[in-house]
Copies of this chain bind each other. A is one copy, B any other.
């Protein structure tokens, strides 16, 4: 038994990611740490779960008091496996997801396995997803670890509103260039996805999904504005997707035959 908080770490970049090491460095400062992550890269898996094949779970490391497990499941499955199989319904004080290699700002929140897992965790626990705006496998997480400790410390101290997780994005600049933290809203925009056509050695067409974020929302209270001005973006995220503002406009549908 221990009085230290129990922290579950999940991610979507898999067990070999540098960002996972950075997250463990943050979490070890505060409590007992258990890691449950995918056995391979599962980026852009959103809130997907594995229904049509069974899940395998195994411990692959125990190091400095941290217990590491991996599964063939999605990031959201990792939360479930952590809760029910690895920790067998022990009380979890905090779930951390990441640190993701690459941005989860704006509408990327919809595609993100990192944030999908944080949202799943937020049904039952305080949860924070952390992402660094650098897709490189060798990204430098120094500034993210520094500020990550500050943010995680505050969340452990104050908690979070019920059923709300934080989507934290770090600009890809050195520690001394970070201007501070901004609490933001999701930037409106869309991911313009193109499909790059290629021909395989057998003469058949195939396509790679590619694209870029189109920002239609230049306001100063958005995540994109904060990040492009070297602020860390901290965004509260909910799982109610109802467009409440349009319910009355659509009530006419109750009278059609």
Contacts and interface: CB of A to CB of B under 8 A. Distances in A.
B237 A183 contact: no
A243 B250 contact: no
A154 B252 CA distance: 10
A154 B236 contact: no
B209 A154 contact: no
B55 A181 contact: no
A129 to B, nearest CB: 12
Say whether chain A's binding surface is mostly helix, strand, loop, or mixed: mixed
A47 B111 contact: yes
Copies of this protein in the assembly total 2
Contacts of A205: 56-57
B247 A237 contact: no
A185 interface: yes
Interface stretch (A3-11, A61-69, A187-195): A187-195
A55 B241 contact: no
A84 B22 CA distance: 39
10 contacts: A41-B52, A54-B206, A107-B239, A110-B239, A181-B253, A181-B254, A234-B250, A236-B242, A236-B246, A239-B241
